[in-house]
Structure 1
Amino acid sequence: MKKKRKQNQSTQPTTKQSDERLTLKDQLSESVFTKLLETKSSLTAEQQRREEEEQAKKLFEKKQREKNMSFEELLDQYGEKGSKF
């Protein structure tokens, strides 16, 4: 049994090595690969735009909360840190 296992193990790495040499770019046509790259870049741009919108929304909400705070709440939050003018 041990001999069979050793023989099976020695044949497996050769097939893996030939598979490792082939990349996705090699297996796909040039037009499909180009479309995939374009899709990736558009999705990345969309995600970045969403993150920027989310940050802007959070900043706006924070300003709105501060705007609606009473003088006492503002004094508690900022205390002596506020400007003197």
Structure 2
Amino acid sequence: MRDEFEGMGGLETLWTVTNDAKSGLYHERIDNTFLKQHISDFSQQFYLCGPDDMVKDLRAALEELGANVDALVWEK
């Protein structure tokens, strides 16, 4: 779905794949440090996609960094 997401106007994406260092993408684990390095505006809307535990952890990290978690969008 990468092409579909990247084709959406106004959507800024940040791709990371933790288990494939050859992918050419970021391969770091997404945590508070990663988020602070790559995101300057936590008041924006976020879309989370991934395993349930990862989405739960990211939701908590974003909330801690000041994001409005009530406005988060994620796959259920």
TM-score, normalization: structure 1? Answer: 0.22
Structure with the largest fraction of helix: 1
Between structures 1 and 2, the one with greater strand share: 2
